[in-house]
Amino acid sequence: MKRALPWVVPVVILLAWQAASQFGVLRDQIMPAPTAVAEAFWRVLRSGELLRDIEISTWRAFAGFAVGGGIGFALGMLNGLSGLSEKLTDSTLQMVRNIPHLALIPLVILWFGIGEEAKLFLVALGVFFPIYVNTLHGVRSVDRQLLEMARAYGMSERAIFWRVVFPGALPSIFVGLRYGLGIMWLTLIVAETISASSGIGFMAMNAREFMMVDVVVVSILIYALLGKLADSIARLLERTCLAWNPVYADV
C-alpha cells in the first residue's frame, strides 16, 4: 500500500489527460492523448529511429560529462590539496562560473560550427563547475582530526589520499555528480534543439516541422526517462560507495 502511494498522482494525471483528450477538451494539435503518444513511441521504436537517437544523445551526454567532470574532479582535488594551485586558479574559475554556460552558444557555434564538438564542449563546460566546486568543498571539509591521526600513525601521503582524503570528500563529490548529471541533460537538450542532425533533440525539432505533436511529446518523455535513469544509477552508486554512512545506509 505504502509503495503504491507515490504512483497515485501520476496515474490520476494520466487518466485525466486521457479523458480530456477523449472528450475533445484537449485538441490533438495541442496535446495528443496518452494512447496516441504510446502509439507514436511504438512507431519510432519500430523504425529504429528512436534507439539510434537515444544512442547518439547518450553518447554525447556521457562523453561531455567524462571530459568536463574529469577536469572538474582533477582541478577540485588539486586546489583542495594545494594552496598554491588554489590561489592561482580558484578566483578565475569562480569568475567564469558566474557566466551561464548556455550564454556561450553563439560563440561556440562560431568556434566549432554545429558539429559534435560544439555539443561536447557545452556539456563539458556545464558539468565542470558543479563537480569542481563540490570536489573542492569535499576535500576542504575532510576531518582535520582524521588527517592528524593518519600522519601520527605513519600513513604515507599516497595512503592518506586514498584512505582519508578521497573517501572523506566522496559524499560531497556525489552531490556534485548528481547536480552535474542534471546540467548534462539540460545542456544537451538545448544544444540538440538549436543545432543537430541527429539525437533526441533533433527528433523533436524534426517532428515539430511536420506537426507531429505526438513524437515531440515522446522526445520530451524520453529526456525525462534518461534523466531519471542517470540519477537512479548515481543514487545506486552513492548507496554502494557510502554504505558506511548511516545517512545512506539501506533500510
Question: What residue ranges bind another protein (CB under 8 A)?
Answer: 145-146, 148-156, 159, 163-164, 167-168, 170, 242-246
Task: For the CB of residue 15, give the shortest distance to another protein in the complex, in Å.
Answer: 45
Distance CA 81, CA 76 (A): 9
Task: For the CB of residue 236, give the shortest distance to another protein in the complex, in Å.
Answer: 18
Contacts of 150 (CB under 8 A, 6+ apart): 159, 160, 163, 164
Contacts of 54 (CB under 8 A, 6+ apart): 200, 222, 226
Task: For the CB of residue 173, give the shortest distance to another protein in the complex, in Å.
Answer: 13
Task: For the CB of residue 143, give the shortest distance to another protein in the complex, in Å.
Answer: 8
Q: Phi, psi at residue 89, to the nearest 5°?
A: -115, -25
Does residue 235 contact residue 223 with C-beta atoms inside 8 Å?
Answer: no
The three grid cell numbers given for residue 37, joined into one nine-digit string: 503518444
Does residue 201 contact residue 188 with C-beta atoms inside 8 Å?
Answer: yes
Task: For the CB of residue 87, give the shortest distance to another protein in the complex, in Å.
Answer: 24
48 or 246: CB nearest another protein: 246
67 or 242: CB nearest another protein: 242
Does residue 194 contact residue 122 with C-beta atoms inside 8 Å?
Answer: no
Q: Phi, psi at residue 248, to the nearest 5°?
A: -100, -5
23 or 153: CB nearest another protein: 153
- Describe the chain by its helix, strand, coil percentages, rounded to 5: 80, 0, 20
Contacts of 175 (CB under 8 A, 6+ apart): 134
210 or 244: CB nearest another protein: 244
155 or 234: CB nearest another protein: 155
Task: For the CB of residue 177, give the shortest distance to another protein in the complex, in Å.
Answer: 17
81 or 242: CB nearest another protein: 242
DSSP one-letter code for 78: H
